[in-house]
A = this chain, B = another copy of it.
Amino acid sequence: MVPEVVILRLPLYVRALAQLLVAGHEVVSSHSLGNHLQITPAQIRKDLSYFGKFGKQGRGYNIRFLLKELRGILGLEREWRACLVGMGRLGRAIINYPGFAPQGFEIVAAFDDDPRKVGRVVGGIAVQAMSEIEGTVEAKKVDIAIVAVPAQHVQSVIEDVVASGVLGILNYAPVVPKVPRGTVMRNIDPVLSLQSMTFYLQQMKNI
């Protein structure tokens, strides 16, 4: 069984390897990859060792090969289909964000419960009523829901999302929703990041 922390680091490796390839490199050592990512070489080697032997002693890792292997391990060699739930300010920013599609995450449907928003086309996608989520998730083979609704609605929205058969949730609301085990959730909240940062900033000021 691979520790979850390791899984969380693999995407960093994928990203760095892709950047090294663009920069014209073909081979990389755990030392220089670690230098890019501020991670120790031993940790990188150990992480990779959970999945196999990808390097050559004395040489390092072939970047193309390792990248492809890691992408396969993470399931990135296929397209993933996402729906967006909540078409407020944040939802609209997400649907127009050009960073998901090139990484293989395509937003194929959008939902909102406000009747004034239903039927509008945002970012090329027609907004549907929440009641349609179950049918659409099945018809469009949606794998992931990106949830951007106000905090007070999240729990009930997530219950609908889970009932529709979606197994992965990217939650932008500032709460920790309850999900059944078997559902994979990730939370994005920049405020939490700032609030742990200020602990350290405060210490530095008070010296």
Binding site for B on A (CB under 8 A): 7-8, 10-12, 14-16, 19, 36-38, 73-76, 80, 89-90, 93, 96-100, 103, 105, 143-144, 151, 167-168, 170, 174-176, 178, 182, 184, 186-188, 190-202, 204
A38 CB contacts on chain B under 8 angstroms: 176, 178
| CB pairs A–B below 8 angstroms (6 shown) | A75-B202, A76-B195, A89-B97, A99-B190, A100-B194, A170-B197
Could you tell me if B10 and A198 are in contact, using CB atoms closer than 8 angstroms?
A: no
Rank and list the top 9 A-B pairs by shortest CB-CB distance, nearest first. Answer: A75-B202, A11-B195, A186-B193, A75-B198, A93-B93, A11-B192, A184-B200, A168-B197, A74-B199
Could you tell me if A168 and B15 are in contact, using CB atoms closer than 8 angstroms?
A: no
Known A7-B199, A74-B199, A184-B197; further 4 A-B contacts with Cβ < 8 A: A10-B199, A38-B178, A76-B195, A186-B196
